[in-house]
Amino acid sequence: MTEQKTILRALNGETLPVPPIWMMRQAGRYLPEYRATREKAGDFLSLCYNPELAAEVTLQPIRRYGFDAAILFADILLVPQALGLDLWFVTGEGPRLSTATTAAEVAALKSVEDIHETLSPVYETVRILSGALPSETTLIGFAGAPWTVATYMIAGRGTPDQAPAHALMQEDRATFEALLDRVTEATIVYLSAQIDAGAEVVKIFDSWAGSLTGADFDKYAVEPARRITAALKARYPHIPVIGFPRGAGEAYVGFAKTTGVDCVALDQGVDPDWAAAHVQVDGCVQGNLAPEHMVTGGQALVDATHAVVKAFSKGPHIFNLGHGITPDADPDNVQLMIDTVRAGK
């Protein structure tokens, strides 16, 4: 069945009459069944590290909607935790971490070979999913990109402009680059283990790539993605890689060629017609319906969905949102989106 999976066909460069669909954060708080399972787990991190429950929430949107792909339920900050930082979540505010902002703190991080001790439950989740998913459904593994992960490790939390990471970059570039290097190596090891456990595609989420510009974007967004992709391709030449440099704007152009990724995921700030002309010419693209349509629904959702499908219809395309679905989304709007894509007109 692998050769028939629509996601893999699109990632291999095939233009399909109906684009395959999955949705970032498709296992999440907008679904009542997810909320029930999370309550059973006790808290978010306990859910991430419970293979049976993490597999369950990964499967829930597949059962409900029949998406063409399932994405592993985990979090990008499990890697910093596996490297030795403390990680916890504050209700209503998000993640908190201990930080690594000095040469000594970066040097004290665990070696990348030791991350499996913490992350082994994630690999078990992948193994469970590999056997439990429908034969036509692609299993996607993922990790955060080094720049995005490093911004949390430096600030100890999410920030609106990644200012602490930019400050460290300017004030102590050697320490900043040592941190980025450690995260890059850990990401290669982590994604390799996901592939060994059964992931058929992996995605690199660079959620804060848009705060990098010019040479910094090339050095700290493009180069780590190229390095990770090259290492994975050397080991697993047939495993596709999706890159998501969110907020890259015009820097989306050429990203696939310079990094080697098989597909570029696009955020909703990019005009689909522009992206078709300038990004899709290099291969598969993914995206990029605005997530707010999952809240508001109606004819505007239908029209915007048609516009995205039409814009990318002449090349390989995976339909998705431009970012993750939000907790206030209406599950019925997700069904409307899927029905609109699959109906064609």
Which CATH architecture is the domain 2-343 placed in? Alpha-Beta Barrel (3.20)
Q: How far apart are CA 150 and CA 161, in angstroms?
A: 13
Select which of 30, 49, 65, 152 is catalytic: 152
* pLDDT of 2 higher than 60: no
pLDDT tens for each residue of 181-238: 999 999 999 999 999 999 999 999 999 999 999 999 999 999 999 999 999 999 999 9
Catalytic residue among 25, 182, 227, 246: 25
Locate the domains of the chain by residue range.
Answer: 2-343
Question: Which helix (H) or strand (E) covers residue 97, if one does?
Answer: strand 94-97
pLDDT band of 1, cuts 50, 70, 90: very low
Compute and round to an integer the Cα radius of gyration of the chain. 19
Does the annotation mark 64 as catalytic?
A: no
Q: What is the mean pLDDT of residues 124-144?
A: 98
157 in active site: no
Peptide bond preceding 288: is omega within 30 degrees of 0, i.e. cis? Answer: yes
Mean pLDDT on 169-191: 98
The mean-pLDDT minimum among 81-85, 92-96, 249-253, 276-280 falls in 92-96
Q: Is 25 a catalytic residue?
A: yes
Q: What is the pLDDT of residue 4?
A: 86
The percent of residues in the chain predicted with pLDDT above 70, rounded, is: 99
Q: Which helix (H) or strand (E) holds 125?
A: helix 116-132
- What average pLDDT does the segment 145-162 reach? 97
Question: How far, in Å, CA of 240 to CA of 60, rounded?
Answer: 24
Does the active-site annotation cover 152? yes
Q: 10 Å Cβ neighbour count for 50?
A: 20
Task: Give, for 298, the enclosing helix (H) or strand (E).
Answer: helix 298-311
Please state, in angstroms and rounded to a whole number, the distance separating the CA atoms of residues 35 and 12.
Answer: 35
The answer to whether residue 38 is catalytic is yes
Q: What is the mean pLDDT of residues 80-98?
A: 94
Q: Which of 9, 29, 64, 157 is catalytic?
A: 29
Rounded Cα distance between 70 and 74, Å, is: 12
Max distance between CA atoms of the chain, in angstroms, equals 59
Cα distance between residue 122 and residue 190, in whole Å: 10
Report angle CA 235, 239, 240 to the nearest 5 degrees. 130
pLDDT digits (tens, 9 = 90+) for 294-305: 999 999 999 999
Task: Give the chain's mean pLDDT.
Answer: 97
Backbone phi and psi for residue 205, each to the nearest 5 degrees, phi listed first: -90, 110
Q: Is residue 76 predicted with pLDDT exceeding 80?
A: yes
Length of the chain: 345
Q: Which of 9, 35, 38, 64 is catalytic?
A: 38
Predicted confidence band of residue 277 (pLDDT cuts 50, 70, 90):
very high
Indicate which residue of 9, 35, 64, 75 is catalytic: 75
Arithmetic mean of pLDDT, 117-134: 98
pLDDT value, residue 46: 97
Evaluate if pTM is beyond 0.85. Answer: yes
Q: How many Cβ atoms from other residues are within 10 Å of residue 173's Cβ?
A: 10
